Chains A and B, each alone.
Chain A
Amino acid sequence: MKHTMRSASFAVLATATAVALAACGAPGTANPGAGGASSQSLSAPAEKSGTITMVTKFADPKYAPYFESVTKAYEQANPKVTIKLEQVGDQPYKDKIRVLSASKQLPDIYFSWAGDFANKFVRAGLAADLTSVIGPDTEWGKTFSPAALKAFETKGKNFGVPIDLDAKYLAYNKSAFTKAGISGAPASLEELIGDCDKLRTAGYTPIAFGNQYGWPAIHYITQLNAYNVPPDTLAKDYDPATGAFTDPGYTKAVDQFKDIVTHCSSKDANGVSHEAGQANFLNGKAAMHYLESVEFQALTAKGGAPKQLADNWDFMRLPAPQGAAGDAGALTGAPDGFMVNAQSKNAALAVDVLKFMTTQQNAAKLTADIGWLSPVQGSATSANSFPQLQSALADISKANQFAIWLDTVTNAEVANAYLSGIEGVISGSKTSKDVMTGVQEAAAKAKKQAG
């Protein structure tokens, strides 16, 4: 009985989607090249006036105020401009942006993850080519970290404006390491596994791990794939048109992940949320936690962490296995960014808004207000960040390349095959061979769709 009422939101969503999509006439037809950004100059408009629509995925009360304050500041500086800012949550954004895209209601500025998610908009002609204003040789482009710019590059052209920098690190409790007789960060994956056994003996959960929705495990796999598979093969396989996933390094990566779960974590991880796992690290029950640099603030006193941990943690990269065939200098992470609608009548003004959002001052404000690293060079200083965040920025700049999140860099079918398969590896219902068979089938399907 109650199901019907509780499913109302689903029914409404489906109905609204159908109506919205039906309004397109033919389903989901984009219309690239009909005027808009592709045929207009993107340099700053002579007179800044008009309305800009902008959709982000930063509805979280911790992050939303920053974007509100920056857009308000732009409006104050340019009284003839109105920015209609809409912020939704991470998961709802994925639905919303697709519905907006299919119903030709895409805003002037919209959020995008790097990788295939961004490339979908590029392939459909829905993302403005920003190379002339943000290319690596332009004045604006030079203000960004080159790796961040590159993450939104497709076939040599720039389609995105990076807004934050995020990388995945293994945070560790220094007291726990000392108690377990571990002198410092392990140099290899094999050493890490050995340290996990020592930590377990000392009464700790070696690595806090919650995988309720599947993505935390995918971040491990992203890093382990980069370590075990040669970069060229990885790039070929992550491209939906050429993906095969037959390199033995992929199976090795899943096996290594299984070792991590067995020695360092628990097969119960699928039933625990990432946040609940993090709580085990915060309260000192777990010695390590694999988390994103955007989450670092949660480990500080300002972020609400207990003093015992806040004064006692450091971080390292997930160590590479010895003699791995891939790139030991790759780092899991990526910038998030904004794209400009290729059909926008106000593309130049939209670019101007994004330029304002990524000034040195606003980039520093991003770090100070919400503890995120900005891709704008020199934006993190001792005045607006804490030591670990500055170390993370230094480490990111040393990385050979970003290993972009597997669930956004590759085709969704492949990502889902990984997601489902890895959950099975954790619970013990699947082997690495099962996982890779599923991934190879998904890659074949994606290749067929890509034509």
Chain B
Amino acid sequence: MSTTLMRWRSLAWVLPALVLLLVFVYYPIVDNLRLSLFSWNAFSVAPTFVGLDNYRTAFHDPIFWTALWNNTVFAVVSLVFQVGFSLVLAALLEEFVHQRLRGILRTIYFIPAVISITVAGILFSFLYNPEIGLVNRLLGAVGLESWQHSWLGEPSTAMGSIIAMSQWQSIGYTAILFVVGIQRIPKEFHEAAKVDGAGPIRRFFSVTVPMVREMTTLIIILTVSGAFLVFNEVMVMTAGGPSDSSQVLGTWLYRNAFLNDDMGYASAIATVIFVITLAIGAVQIVVSRRRRIQW
């Protein structure tokens, strides 16, 4: 078979996926960029070209900055818990827990990840309820009445409460991914380190962390870009309130597109989200390629 024919055959295999990607991913992205240059809504008879006006509006919109800040906080907290804490949790599970108990614990940690976000949101709305919620009751039981809040009802606590719920739901999932990564590390590495006198903490930093770097990179990309794409958690629990204190870029985009009828501005916000997540992904991929470990 000629090389040319082989090439065409290969292309034929990837063509369906390529067409799907072009139609459902790349075309909407490019078209969204075009739409962000117009002032228009679902009822517009005549969309008007406004150039970069929608981006200027975003720049001067305090709620846009609140949303961006909330996404950033979401990303940082998610990194700490879903990457740092999850990796430690996975290492502890693999290092210190008995084989039989390990399976049970993995299942327990993983359960929140399979609960629908709507169910989890409603569940936590009850936990955070200022009158009958478990959180305030527990605080009251240990004499910390002054710490009680209307968790989803105060601008100072609403976003933190949503982020906390999200961490509860995601830690187990990322921990299981790290477990998979840790199990792939050849046992000889740990044994050699033990022979050299390395303790568990030293082995964690000198063997486990470097050897799961690729998994870590993948989880960082997914966690950070996920934090900038967050939508459901906020929509279910506060819809961006109170007083827009828990708006994130996704909900602010939604509010402008489908409630304020400002599709052009919503398209501009969508472009900002795309640029942020693209940049995060690109940086991560470049950094991880440089530091790849092969064995």
Determine the distance from Cα of A11 to Cα of B228 in the docked complex, in whole angstroms. 12
Determine the distance from Cα of A88 to Cα of B94 in the docked complex, in whole angstroms. 47
Q: For the complex, is B17 an interface residue (Cβ under 8 Å from A)?
A: no
Determine the distance from Cα of A4 to Cα of B43 in the docked complex, in whole angstroms. 31
> B128, A271: Cβ atoms under 8 Å?
yes
> B226, A1: Cβ atoms under 8 Å?
yes
Near A by CB (< 8 A), chain B positions 141-195 give 149-155, 166, 169-170, 173-174, 177
The stretch of B99-107, B237-245, B282-290 in contact with A is B237-245
Q: For the complex, is B261 an interface residue (Cβ under 8 Å from A)?
A: yes
Which A residues lie within 8 Å of B259 (CB)? 94, 412, 416
> B226, A4: Cβ atoms under 8 Å?
yes
CB closest chain-B residue, reference A23: B31
Near B by CB (< 8 A), chain A positions 249-304 give 266-273, 276, 280
Determine the distance from Cα of A420 to Cα of B40 in the docked complex, in whole angstroms. 24
Determine the distance from Cα of A83 to Cα of B30 in the docked complex, in whole angstroms. 38
Nearest chain B CB to A33 CB, angstrom units: 10
Q: For the complex, is B44 an interface residue (Cβ under 8 Å from A)?
A: yes
Near A by CB (< 8 A), chain B positions 32-48 give 32, 35, 38, 40-47
> A424, B155: Cβ atoms under 8 Å?
yes
Which B residues lie within 8 Å of A101 (CB)? 42-43
> B219, A1: Cβ atoms under 8 Å?
yes
Contact pattern, A 110-133, Cβ under 8 Å of B = 1, otherwise 0: 000000000011011110000000
> B47, A429: Cβ atoms under 8 Å?
no
Determine the distance from Cα of A212 to Cα of B254 in the docked complex, in whole angstroms. 18
Determine the distance from Cα of A408 to Cα of B242 in the docked complex, in whole angstroms. 20
Which A residues lie within 8 Å of B278 (CB)? none
Q: For the complex, is B227 an interface residue (Cβ under 8 Å from A)?
A: yes
Determine the distance from Cα of A123 to Cα of B261 in the docked complex, in whole angstroms. 14
> B239, A416: Cβ atoms under 8 Å?
no
Q: For the complex, is A413 an interface residue (Cβ under 8 Å from B)?
A: yes
Task: Kindly identify which residue among B23, B27, B38, B260 contacts A416, using a CB–CB cutoff of 8 Å.
Answer: B260
Determine the distance from Cα of A450 to Cα of B50 in the docked complex, in whole angstroms. 16
Near B by CB (< 8 A), chain A positions 197-215 give 211-214
Which A residues lie within 8 Å of B40 (CB)? 27-28
Determine the distance from Cα of A94 to Cα of B43 in the docked complex, in whole angstroms. 13
How many CB-defined contacts (below 8 Å) exist between A and B?
Answer: 195
> B229, A123: Cβ atoms under 8 Å?
no
Which A residues lie within 8 Å of B6 (CB)? none
Contact pattern, B 259-274, Cβ under 8 Å of A = 1, otherwise 0: 1110110000010000
> B232, A6: Cβ atoms under 8 Å?
yes
Task: Kindly identify which residue among A1, A21, A212, A276 contacts B263, using a CB–CB cutoff of 8 Å.
Answer: A21
Which B residues lie within 8 Å of A426 (CB)? 153, 242
Q: For the complex, is B96 an interface residue (Cβ under 8 Å from A)?
A: no
Determine the distance from Cα of A121 to Cα of B259 in the docked complex, in whole angstroms. 14
**Chain A contact surface mostly:** helix
> B225, A1: Cβ atoms under 8 Å?
no
Determine the distance from Cα of A18 to Cα of B225 in the docked complex, in whole angstroms. 20
Q: For the complex, is B72 an interface residue (Cβ under 8 Å from A)?
A: no
Task: Kindly identify which residue among B25, B31, B43, B150 contacts A126, using a CB–CB cutoff of 8 Å.
Answer: B43
Which B residues lie within 8 Å of A11 (CB)? 229
CB closest chain-B residue, reference A442: B260
Near A by CB (< 8 A), chain B positions 106-134 give 113, 117, 125, 128-132
Determine the distance from Cα of A87 to Cα of B227 in the docked complex, in whole angstroms. 32
Near A by CB (< 8 A), chain B positions 190-239 give 219, 222-223, 225-227, 229-233, 238-239
Nearest chain A CB to B124 CB, angstrom units: 11
> A1, B255: Cβ atoms under 8 Å?
no
> B155, A429: Cβ atoms under 8 Å?
yes
Task: Kindly identify which residue among A9, A120, A413, A416 contacts B232, using a CB–CB cutoff of 8 Å.
Answer: A9
Near B by CB (< 8 A), chain A positions 395-426 give 412-413, 416, 419-421, 423-424, 426
Q: For the complex, is A2 an interface residue (Cβ under 8 Å from B)?
A: yes
Which B residues lie within 8 Å of A62 (CB)? none
Nearest chain B CB to A273 CB, angstrom units: 7
Q: Which 7 pairs show the lowest CB-CB distances between chains A and B?
A: A3-B226, A271-B153, A270-B153, A271-B150, A268-B150, A423-B242, A10-B231
| Apart from the given pairs A11-B229, A99-B42, A416-B259, 17 other A-B contacts in the complex at a CB distance below 8 Å | A1-B173, A2-B226, A3-B222, A6-B117, A6-B232, A9-B231, A18-B35, A21-B263, A27-B44, A29-B46, A102-B42, A214-B242, A266-B130, A269-B153, A270-B152, A270-B241, A419-B241
Question: B residues touching A (Cβ–Cβ < 8 Å)?
Answer: 23-25, 27-28, 31-32, 35, 38, 40-47, 78, 82, 113, 117, 125, 128-132, 149-155, 166, 169-170, 173-174, 177, 219, 222-223, 225-227, 229-233, 238-239, 241-244, 250, 253-255, 257-261, 263-264, 270
Question: A residues touching B (Cβ–Cβ < 8 Å)?
Answer: 1-4, 6-7, 9-11, 14-15, 17-19, 21-22, 26-30, 32, 94-95, 98-99, 101-102, 120-121, 123-126, 211-214, 266-273, 276, 280, 412-413, 416, 419-421, 423-424, 426-427, 429-430
